[in-house]
Structures are given as structure tokens and as C-alpha cells.
Structure 1
Amino acid sequence: MAAQGSKLVIYAALAGNGLIAITKFAAAGYTGSSAMFSEAIHSVVDTGNQGLLLYGLHRANRPPDQKHPFGYGGEVYFWSFVVAILLFAVGSGFSLYEGVLKVMDPHPVTNVFVSYLVLGGAIVFEAGAWIVAAREFNKTRKGRPILRTVLEAKDPSIITVLLEDSAAMLGLIAALVGIWLGQVTGNPVYDGAASIVIGVILAMAAIFLAIETKGLLIGEAAHPEVTAALEGIIADQASVAQINEILTMHVGPSDVLVNASLDFKDSVDSVEIERAVTEIEAKIKQAYPRVTRIFIEAQNWQEHERTI
């Protein structure tokens, strides 16, 4: 379900950005607007990024094998990090470069009405893609604050598209304002300044996305609420004397690894321990289908303390 939601968001953004990019390039060539050209590059980068996210989701669906026994869910994290790099290097870099050139050698924007028409249409299309992404994002919130949900998100594809669409909306507004100021003041420098603003917006979005994806790449734990629930399930098992430690890690957006060290009661024999382990695994997987790998270690708590 989560993967289907991610793909819906990406397909909507891919279709919108592809059409918008073509329109922006035509308008940039016709009007000579630096801000419009930066926006065209931005849309091309976004289109390529969405293609990479779809590729990452496709690669992540491969089943585990001998070389990767925990599966390929991390592919989504890797390609999301690549998207962040491209957004910074290509999108932000081109916009800043084009903006600085225009500021150093300003020239007036012609046929301003065409720019307004294209940017207005782009805002409408981007708003539609943003609404689709926002709806999928809200399904994952479950009443939590927006910023907290973003920081704790385990599926970077939806966050990436939502962030890109938000940056795109801000960039379009910056381009619109820059072209308008250049028209009313007669000073074409504002057009170049708008391109620089677009570059800064993309750089900030890329840096934020890179930081978030980095945490997932190096191994991020499941939500604290999930860990607390796992502790509750294990504690309910009568044969467990003490929970020594529970370690969780997302190896993919919908693939959680759980490693638990448990101290069983001295009166419990090996057969009962095996039965208890089976019951614990079954209850955890029933409550949290995303937990796909569970490793339970039976260990005296004192011995456990000596080994950590």
C-alpha cells in the first residue's frame, strides 16, 4: 500500500514536471528571461529525479538473495540521496550560475505576458502535483506535527516529491516576482536576482533532503512508538523475566529488522523458550507487518551487561 502511494505521487509529479519543462524552455527562448530558464532547468532536474525515484522503488522490490539476505529496500534511500545531490549540483548550480550572469550582464525580458502565462499555468500544475503528494503525506502523519512527521519519515520518496514540489512553488513565485519587478522598474537585474533566489531555494531543499536521507542510509531505528509496542508484546510473555535490549533498524521503507535480547525465567526449559520465541515473533508480525526480520537471543541479563 505504501509503495503504491509513493508511485502515485511520483507519477503525478513526473507527468506535470515533464510538460512544464518543455513549456518553460520554449518561453525562456522566446522571452530571454533568466528566471524562466532557471525554472526550466529546475523542472528538468525534477523530472529526472522522479525517474530515479521510480527506478529506486523498482530495484527495492527485488526479493532477498544470498548476496543481500535482508533485501534491497535500501535502494530507495540511495536513490533519494542521489536526487538530493542532483538537486543541489544541477538545479541549484545552474540557477545560481544563470542568475549571476544575468546580474553581471542584464538584458530586458521581452514578451512579458508569455512569461506570466507560462508561470501561472506552471503554478496550477505544480499545485495539483503538490496536493497529491500532500494527501499521501497526511496519511502517514496520524495526527503528529508536520515537522516531526518529516523528520521521522521512513519513506523518503513521498517526502522528496513533496519537498521538490514545495521548492518548485516557491521558485515559480520568485520568478514571477522577479519578472514583474523588472517590468515595472525597467531594471532587468531583478530577473537575474530571481534566478539566484531560485538557486538558493533549491540548495536549501537539497541540503535538507540529503541530511534526512543520510540518517536512513546509515541505519535508522523504527519509530519510538513501535519500539514501545514491541516491548509491550514481549513483556506480556509469561516466560520472559526481563528484556535486556531491543534494537530496531529500517532496512527499507516497509522493512524493519528487530533484534531482541531476552532473559527468560530460570524455571523455563528449552522447549518452552522455543515456543515463547515462536509466539513472540507471530504476535509482532501480526501487529506490525513491516517487521520482516526478527532475531531473539536468550541471554542472562548479567551476562548481557558484561558484553555491551
Structure 2
Amino acid sequence: MSAGGGTKAILAALGANLGIALTKFVAWLLTGSSSMLAEAIHSVADSGNQGLLLLGGKRSTRKATPEHPFGYGRERYVYAFIVSIVLFSVGGLFALYEAWHKIQHPEAIEEWKWVPIVVLVIAICLEGYSFRTAIKESNHTRGKTSWVDYVRRAKAPELPVVLLEDAGALVGLVFALLGVGLTLITGNGIWDGIGTGAIGLLLVAIAGILAVETKSLLIGEGANPEDVVKLEKAICAGPGVERIIHMKTLYLGPEELLVAAKIAVPPTEQAQEVARHINETETRIREALPIARVIYLEPDIYHPAKATNMTAADPAVAN
């Protein structure tokens, strides 16, 4: 995923959420609806989340230092994980607290009854625009991958985060519209509380999904199976490489992959020839997978018995 596509989606979501938050707070002040307050806090949390994603993207571009020799690419994962915590605590738990309070002490909406409906309809339109932008930008890199797999397998966290936030916001707005609408129709404020509770549960669920996926990226994920195949073909395509003894990959950031491999070279080759073949192999790897920017290749002589023992000790080793 290009950083530009993610930034465009984040800015669209940020602009939409700031405008929505302001109108929701006005509606809450006029009507006292807990659904409107929960949705207003939700929009504020989302706006803060987009700010965190932008900050993470900015900090991730810092140059490598002796203390951090592989750079700061994972800053984007750190801030995406913080987003999930903010969404859970500020958005989800606050909404659940408001729902409990409203169900315990339901209050009908007596004044400015039309305001929440108008605000929610406007918010749905704005969130729909933001969601459409995120979908459009995601389609540039998603290909034929399903949306579920795209969210689970994407190495750049920004677009999946915005997609989940916007989808959750749209569903939450529908919950709020139902809660407010039923409260206005029946005169019973308990529906407002139920709508608020549904919003809270939705936000907690989305926060959980984001936390699990970004935690996996923070721990360290390797290349996708399709990219592993490309790497293997590129490494073995030259005359100076007999086979891959074993190979490991690791994402240092969304657009930077580390490749470390032990390769079998002909036992009769001289050091100068081995060095030339390694350089040629690195060039092939970068042509096959441009994000493979950090490459370590260790030449060795292939011994079947030794390779078998290594495989038994480490299931990730490929002979």
C-alpha cells in the first residue's frame, strides 16, 4: 500500500469526523440524547485516532540510527495499536457506561425532537463519503483478495484501520438512528439507552479486531506466501545458487522487508565467484520484490544430513 493512499483516506476520515462530532455535540446539548452523546464521543475518538495514524506515519519516516539500525518503520504499527486502545476505552467503554445509566434512568426526548434525526442523516452521508474514499484507496492494492483477508493480511495498518472505523461508524449511526427514532415514536427513553449500548458493543468488538491484527504486526510477521514464492524463484534463478538451505523474512515496516537466507553454492567455486553470485542474487530479489530492502545472504555447502537435522529442529526451515 502506498503511503499516499493511506494518507488520503485518513484525511478524508479526519475531516468527516470533526464535522460530525461538532454537530452531534450540538444535538446532544439540545436534546439530552445519550445516543447522540455516545456518537459524539465516538467521533471525537475517531478524530484522535486519525491524528495518531498521521503521527505514526510521520515518525516512521525517520532515518535509521545506531540505536535503531533498521529504522522506525514499525512506528506505524505502534500507533495503530494505540488506536485500538483508544477506540476501546474512550469509545466503547464510555458508550456502555452511558447505556447503563440511560437504561437505569430513561428520559424521553422532549425538545428539539427533529434535531437528532437531521444530524444523524447528515452524519451518515459524511461517513459514507469517508468510507467510499477508504474503499477506493484500498482497491488499488487489494486486488482479488476478500475484504476479510485484506484486513487480516495487510502489512500497512492505515487503510484497514480506517475501513473498520468507518464501517463501525456507519453501523453505529444506524443504531443511534433506531434508538432515537424509537424513543421519539414511543416516548420511552430506554430505546435511546439500548441504541447506545449497541454502539458500545460494536466499538469494543472493532477495537478487539484491531488490537489482535496490529499485535501480530508488532510481534513481527513474515512475507505472505505469494511473496515467499517470488523470493524463492528469484534466489534460485541464477547459476551460482544450487538451492535454498533455509530462509526467513520479517517486515521491518509496512514497506520494508528483511530477507535472510542461507544458500547452497557449488563447492568448487572461488570466493570471488561466490561474491559475484550473491550480488546478482540480491539484484534479482529486489527486482522480484522491491520492498525487500534489507537482504542478508549466507553462502554454504549443502549437506543433506545436516539440512535434515535443521528441519527437525526448526519447522520453518525449508530445504
TM-score by length of 1: 0.97
Rounded to whole Å, the distance in 2 between the matches of 1:300 and 1:173 is: 64
2:316 equivalent in structure 1: none
Q: 2:4 maps to which residue? A: 4
Structure 1: distance between partners of 2:302 and 2:102? 68
Structure 2, unmatched stretches of 5+, are 314-319
Shift of 1:306: 4.6
> Could you list the per-position Cα deviations for residues 272-298 of structure 1 after superposition, in whole angstroms to 9, with x for gaps in the alignment?
111111011112112322111000011
- Distance (Å, rounded) in 1 between the aligned partners of 2:113 and 2:253: 47
CA distance in 2: counterparts of 1:256 and 1:305, whole angstroms: 27
2:186 partner letter: T
CA–CA distance in structure 1, aligned partners of residues 153 and 188 of structure 2: 45
Q: Does 1:203 align with 2:204?
A: yes
Separation in 1 of the partners of 2:193 and 2:302? 65
d(CA) in 2 for partners of 1:234, 1:267? 19
Distance 1:301 1:70 in 2: 30
Q: Identify the residue that residue 169 of structure 1 maps to in structure 2.
A: 170
Alignment of 1:69-218 (within 5 A): 69-110=69-110, 111-218=112-219
Q: 1:182: Cα distance to partner?
A: 1.2
Aligned to 2:56: 56
Instruction: Assess if the C-alpha contact under 8 Å between 1:112 and 1:179 holds in 2.
Output: no
Q: Which moved more, 1:56-65 or 1:265-274?
A: 265-274
Show structure 1 runs of 5+ residues with no match. Answer: none
Q: 1:143: Cα distance to partner?
A: 1.2
SS in 2 for 1:240: coil
**What displacement does 1:305 show?**
5.0
Q: Could you report, residue by residue, the CA deviation over 1:114-171 in whole angstroms, capped at 9, with x for unpaired residues?
A: 0010000000000000011111111121112221122111011111011000000000
* Counterpart position of 1:221: 222
RMSD over aligned CA atoms reads 1.2
Shift of 1:299: 2.2
Instruction: Describe the SS at the equivalent of 2:26.
Output: helix
Q: Partners of 2:28 and 2:250 in 1: how far apart?
A: 47
User: CA shift at 1:301, angstroms?
Assistant: 3.4
Indicate if the aligned counterparts of 1:53 and 1:76 stay in contact, CA closer than 8 A.
Answer: yes
User: Normalised by the size of structure 2, how large is the TM-score?
Assistant: 0.94
Query: 2:284 corresponds to which residue?
Result: 283
Q: Corresponding residue for 2:21? A: 21
Runs (4+) of structure 1 exceeding 6 A deviation are: none
